[in-house]
Amino acid sequence: MHIRTVGAGPPIVLLHGWALHGGVFEPLLQRLHDRYQLHLVDLPGHGGSRDSDLPLALQPCVDEIAARTPDAVWLGWSLGGLFALKAAAMLPQVRGLVMLASTPRFVQGPDWPDAVEATVFAQFARDLEQDYRGTLDRFLALDALGSEHARAELRRLRAALHAGGEPAPRALQQGLQLLARSDLRHLLPGLPVPSLWISGRRDRLVPAAGMQAAAASAPASGFLDLPRGGHAPFLGQADEVAARLADFVGGLPA
């Protein structure tokens, strides 16, 4: 698995969303590399890990990342939040958790209304087999939809995707299965580390209400809703996300 390390200071592990790679966090890297050591992970099948033999599954990925990074705060965006939450609940080397436009459960259920319909990810899985590149582009458009800076964010997401190379189709299908089937809500009440939950109020994939509900279930948690943010607030609201992340890391016990 490819992990790029940049900067010096308290370590932060950053985990990207579906179809992207660690390079998508460039706006945060620009704002934080002079104060923090950033570990930008490319999950299996994505970016520099495109040819990795590791399956895109929670436990194998968490174990591999943990073996290759120091004690750190783990930040997960979208799909990456599932890996970060799993690690925070199980590994003593995780000092804090940041869930960025992410949730322990991405699909609706009888007791979980603030999420997308289960058919959304199933449709993307079918579409991938018919129109691989078109489906990727539609998903990136959904990432940016609603944001105050939607067009600029979509350009950044497309540029990041092309810069890192096309993700492996097998990994994309595995990622959609994770989004559709994972439910990590049971980990929240016993979460042993502080957590920060950052939502975009205009997010069309992860409703802010669902993130707020998840944060309320975890001890020592904080919740921040960005009124003009979409699903990728670290692009359109990079200054605010970086500032709140720095505040969170600085407030953790030594």
Question: Which whole number is the average pLDDT over 4-18?
Answer: 97
Cα three-residue angle 160-166-171, rounded to 5 degrees: 110
SS3 3: strand
Give the span between the Cα atoms of 183 and 20, in whole angstroms: 22
Structure tokens at 250: 């600085």
Which residue is catalytic, options 39, 102, 203, 221?
203
Q: What is the CATH number of domain 3-250?
A: 3.40.50.1820
Residue 147 falls in the annotated catalytic set = no
Catalytic entry in 49, 52, 78, 182: 78
Sequence ranges of the domains in the chain:
3-250
231 is catalytic: yes
Residue 254 has pLDDT above 80, yes or no: no
Work out the pLDDT band at 163, boundaries 50, 70, 90.
confident
Tens digit of pLDDT for each residue in 56-91?
999 999 999 999 999 999 999 999 999 999 999 999
DSSP state letter for 50: T
Whether 221 sits among the annotated catalytic residues: the reply is no
Contacts of 230 (CB under 8 A, 6+ apart): 143, 144, 145, 146, 147, 148, 150, 153, 200, 202, 203, 204, 236
Q: How far is CA 135 from CA 19, 111, 236, in A?
A: 11, 30, 23
Query: For the chain, first and last CA: distance in Å?
Result: 29
Q: Is the pLDDT of residue 51 over 90?
A: yes
Burial of residue 195 (number of CB atoms within 10 Å: 0-12, 13-18, 19+): buried
